[in-house]
Amino acid sequence: MLINLDFESNEPIYQQLVHQIIEGIARKEIAPGEGLPSVRSLASDIGINLHTVNKAYQQLKQDGFILIHRQKGVVVNPDGVPKADANYKKQLEKNLRPLIAESICRDVSEEEFLRLCSTIFETYQGGSA
Amino acid sequence: MLINLDFESNEPIYQQLVHQIIEGIARKEIAPGEGLPSVRSLASDIGINLHTVNKAYQQLKQDGFILIHRQKGVVVNPDGVPKADANYKKQLEKNLRPLIAESICRDVSEEEFLRLCSTIFETYQGGSA
Amino acid sequence: MLINLDFESNEPIYQQLVHQIIEGIARKEIAPGEGLPSVRSLASDIGINLHTVNKAYQQLKQDGFILIHRQKGVVVNPDGVPKADANYKKQLEKNLRPLIAESICRDVSEEEFLRLCSTIFETYQGGSA
Amino acid sequence: MLINLDFESNEPIYQQLVHQIIEGIARKEIAPGEGLPSVRSLASDIGINLHTVNKAYQQLKQDGFILIHRQKGVVVNPDGVPKADANYKKQLEKNLRPLIAESICRDVSEEEFLRLCSTIFETYQGGSA
DNA sequence: GTGGTCTAGACCACT
DNA sequence: GTGGTCTAGACCACC
């Protein structure tokens, strides 16, 4: 799985890392139970600070995406990621709302917006088919 | 138009303000050409620093949502907001992608996701009908 | 002579007014000795504040473009505008320098820059021919 | 690279700073990819507030002159500055026009004006030869 | 009265 | 240590 960071983005690097790993899981490139590189090796591979990788891993663990065993190392949660709960959906709506509001202002129709979402969905589901 | 800020949020206050105003425009509560409160009055209304409001206004100006008119003060861009260009859509996709990836991991179906988007769209378009 | 103001520009209105009048003189639309509208009439014509017009006139007077007679009103300096002195040229260079520096960074060749200047010169000299 | 500010000038300090840095780039004193001092260090070097430096940097970033890199700090855009587009040229003309108009009024010939521009150009290109 | 600029000092997130 | 954010108070230019 390829990690692709933008050091000039406003999005913090650890956050980008979190997203990329989640995308990898969504794309089924890394399956539940499968291992991830250690903090050290990933950090030196990408050329970033240990702390940064660690912070990303901690957040992924916090959100139930991965488990961190002292010995077995880092693995994708073998039970699968916790399903969306009411809280997650509230958060999701809160994140979508400003995107949709701006799209409306900029004359993006609902159809076009939904089509874009579908297209993005396909980029993940196509990978598993 | 009501402004509703969460001072506990990680999202910077000026950013929340930007979003809220964009939502106000999307909801057609503030029409093109209409005026917005002055930096100072809005700041004292909300109980924040005028620089924070100013930063929000500057960003909105930069993005073409508002104009700062020498005589009329701050007004919503009477020509309407610049339409979505390729750049905006690329940005939008970049913002949607991680949300969708996480949703997939959490077993949110495409149908459900799109339905959520539609629901949010209605909260804006319903307001203008 | 037409006055064309941009109320959304960062350039102060009085400054725009000064420029427009200087351009009118350069274009020989208003000849030395000829009269300009009174502060009051010009202000109400354009729909701006008296102070603003007054400030523009004061600056033009200061720079030797116009004379303000208590009775005869405002006239373009019949002796013509004071010729460029060393001081003016120093100022001119100071104004041109950042424009040229940025042009160089943006890959505008000297030829192209000079051509643009010539084109602008023509818009004035053409008017007098 | 030397920064030379005039605290008496009407031109805002941050603006002067922007100009000086652009001139440094034009003069090839700072090459693409090269680093600029941090906000704090530059501010204390010049003896101004860090916010003022920050404002200058933000504008330079906005205009594509510099990048704010998560790891390397502030660097001159390694891809070079965005080339002049139609918009920039329109702006440039708008800036040149009043300078030329006043020069005409003050009896500066087109030849002399162009010669002055050439002289300024040389101060930049001579530096790289 | 408005927005624009500058200063100053503080806290935080990120690397 | 870096940049980003927020606050606060001051002065100025403009209208």
Domains and CATH numbers, chain D: 13-76 (1.10.10.10), 86-128 (no CATH)
pLDDT higher than threshold 90 for residue D126: no
Give the pLDDT score at D16.
Answer: 93
Q: Which residue is nearest to nucleotide E6 (CA to C1')?
A: D52
As a whole number, the mean pLDDT across chain D is 92
Task: From chain B, pick out residues whose CB is under 8 angstroms from the CB of A27.
Answer: 101
Residues of chain D whose beta carbon is less than 8 angstroms from a beta carbon of chain C are 19, 22-23, 25-27, 65, 80-84, 88-89, 92-93, 95-108, 110, 113-114, 116-118, 120-121, 124-125
Strands (E), chain C: 35-36, 66-69, 73-76
Give the pLDDT score at A126.
Answer: 61
Give the pLDDT score at C128.
Answer: 45
CA of D12 to C1' of F11 (A): 13
End-to-end Cα spacing for chain B: 18
Q: What does the alpha-carbon distance between residue D56 and residue D60 come to, in Å, rounded to a whole number?
A: 6
Whether the beta carbon of B51 falls within 7 A of nucleic chain F: the reply is: yes
> Under an 8 A CB cutoff, do A104 and B121 touch?
yes
- Which residues, listed in sequence order, are joined to residue C36 by a DSSP beta bridge? C74
Q: Coil, strand, or helix at residue A33?
A: coil
Cβ proximity of A97 and B17 under 8 Å: no
Give the pLDDT score at D129.
Answer: 43
pLDDT higher than threshold 90 for residue D1: no
Alpha carbon A82 to its chain's center: 14
Residue of C106, C28, B83 whose CA lies nearest to D86: C106
**Residue in B closest to A113 by C-alpha:** B117
Residues C14-64: tens digit of each pLDDT? 999 999 999 999 999 999 999 999 999 999 999 999 999 999 999 999 999
Sign of the torsion formed by the C-alpha atoms of B80, B86, B91 and B95: positive
- Which residues, listed in sequence order, are joined to residue C80 by a DSSP beta bridge? none
The tokens of D109 are what? 């010939």
Give the pLDDT score at A128.
Answer: 45
Q: What does the alpha-carbon distance between residue D56 and residue D52 come to, in Å, rounded to a whole number?
A: 6
- Which residues, listed in sequence order, are joined to residue A35 by a DSSP beta bridge? A75
> Under an 8 A CB cutoff, do A124 and B116 touch?
no
Whether the beta carbon of C15 falls within 7 A of nucleic chain F: the reply is: yes
Long-range pairs of A53-57 with CB within 8 A, sequence gap ≥ 24: A53/A14, A53/A17, A55/A14, A56/A14, A56/A15, A56/A17, A56/A18, A56/A21
As a whole number, the mean pLDDT across chain A is 92
Q: Which residue is associated with the tokens 């800020």?
A: B5
> Under an 8 A CB cutoff, do A8 and D69 touch?
yes
How far away is chain A from the Cα of B55, in angstroms, using its nearest Cα? Answer: 17
The tokens of A1 are what? 């799985």
The tokens of D43 are what? 């501010």
Task: From chain C, pick out residues whose CB is under 8 angstroms from the CB of D28.
Answer: none
Give the pLDDT score at B126.
Answer: 61
> Under an 8 A CB cutoff, do D84 and C120 touch?
no
Give the pLDDT score at A72.
Answer: 83
Q: What does the alpha-carbon distance between residue A57 and residue A63 come to, in Å, rounded to a whole number?
A: 10
Helical (H) or strand (E) element with D50: helix D50-62
How far away is chain C from the Cα of B73, in angstroms, using its nearest Cα? Answer: 10
Give the pLDDT score at C126.
Answer: 60
Task: From chain C, pick out residues whose CB is under 8 angstroms from the CB of D82.
Answer: 106
- Above pLDDT 70, what percent of chain A? 97
Give the pLDDT score at B128.
Answer: 45
Q: Say which residues have a Cβ less than 8 Å from residue D71's Cβ, sequence separation at least 6.
A: A7, A48
> Looking at the partner chain, which of D88, D99, D124 has a beta carbon nearest the beta carbon of C95?
D99
What is the mean predicted confidence (pLDDT) over C56-75? Answer: 92
Residues D100-115: tens digit of each pLDDT? 999 999 999 999 999 9
Q: At residue A110, what are phi and psi to the nearest 5 degrees?
A: -60, -40
Q: Which chains are within 8 Å of A by 3+ CB pairs?
A: B, D
Q: Which residue is nearest to nucleotide E15 (CA to C1')?
A: A49
Low-confidence ranges of chain B (pLDDT < 70): 126-129
Give the pLDDT score at D88.
Answer: 95
> Under an 8 A CB cutoff, do D65 and C105 touch?
yes
Whether the beta carbon of B62 falls within 7 A of nucleic chain F: the reply is: no
Task: From chain A, pick out residues whose CB is under 8 angstroms from the CB of D69.
Answer: 7-8
What is the mean predicted confidence (pLDDT) over D46-67? Answer: 94
- Above pLDDT 70, what percent of chain C? 97
Substitution target in C7, C13, C16 with the highest count of B β-carbons within 10 Å is C7
Give the pLDDT score at B1.
Answer: 82
**A and C interact (at least 3 Cβ pairs within 8 A):** no
